[in-house]
Homo-oligomer: A and B are copies of this chain.
Amino acid sequence: MDTWMRLMANDGSIVFGRVENGYLHEYEGLDQPVPTGAVLSLRALTPLAPCAPGKVVALWNNFHALALKLEKPVPEHPLFLIKPASSVIGSGDAIRRPAHYAGKIVFEGELGIVIGKRCRDASLEEAEASIFGYTIVNDVTAAGLLAENPHFPQWCRAKGFDTFCCLGPAIVSGFDWRSARVVTRLDGVERQNYPLDDMVFSPAQQVSLISQDLTLEPGDVIACGTSLGVGSIGEGATVEVTIEGIGALVNALGVPVRDRADAAQSANEREKPAVVW
């Protein structure tokens, strides 16, 4: 297992690399995992979303427990919408309420698949090989818009607002999702705690089937869908989504929650995610 982060230096330049003992070993990029030789202290860097996806493919109804609760059959092909690149923020960044929307804003803690190689019509084996690693997603939704127009469910709009795709804090390659759980806490209170082995389509199946529809590019993310326990986020409330082995993705509605020191520390102490409020 290796941990990868994307960070900003003081001069505004962006670096990507492998994190070890508080240092970033810089690499050319996701699609070119070649070390540049540079080693930088995390303390001098500001964490960003761990990749810059061209698109985020977000699944609906991909957990057996949720399908049962919704009384919907599990799908035969991944059901998805697209969240644009403009919706992506990193751990600690503020989720912003849309200017003209006063309704519920909902969290969904999810596993994120990060693509490492261009992928089209991939077999299961090719799909598995094209996965760079895994991250954590909070797939935020303006729930009141989904069914606002009875003639057209607004999945892309409700989930596509700027700041509505929280990603991070890191990508972990070689991560065994099968034994992991997604735990979501709202202001410290556990609201989701579900096993990833309850997924309808495994990560490799998702990549393979979605790549038959559209070409996946390095850095693209598939948000694997959520399970039971989603809920709304009050103004100023903090959502922490944790997957042991990856870390803790922390975002609050309306306010940033990190400072540079906290973030560097939390990256350093991933085994035991720091609670920052």
Contact = CB atoms under 8 A, between A and B. Distances in A.
A259 B23 CA distance: 53
B79 A152 contact: yes
A251 B14 CA distance: 40
A36 interface: no
Interface size class on chain A is 35 or more
Contact of A100 (B79, B84, B212): B212
B75 A149 contact: yes
Contacts of A156: 80-82, 155-156
Count the copies: 2
Contacts of A55: 55, 82, 84-86
A64 to B, nearest CB: 15
Counting from the closest, the 8 A-B pairs by CB-CB distance are: A86-B215, A82-B82, A79-B152, A55-B84, A82-B156, A72-B151, A81-B156, A86-B214
Interface string A225-240: 0000000000000000
Contact of A214 (B162, B215, B217): B162
Interface string A44-88: 000000000011000011000000000011010001111111110
A76 to B, nearest CB: 8
Given A151-B72, A156-B80, A54 B85 contact: yes
Given A79-B149, A153-B153, A161 B98 contact: no
B80 A157 contact: yes
Interface in A11-50: none
Interface in A201-216: 212-216
Given A55-B86, A153-B153, A160 B214 contact: yes
Interface string A245-258: 00000000000000
Contacts of A100: 212
B84 A82 contact: yes
Interface of A: 54-55, 60-61, 72-73, 75, 79-87, 98-100, 120-121, 149, 151-157, 160-162, 212-217
Contacts of A213: 98, 157, 160-162
A37 B72 CA distance: 60
Contacts of A212: 98-100
Nearest to A118: B86
Contact of A120 (B154, B162, B214): B162
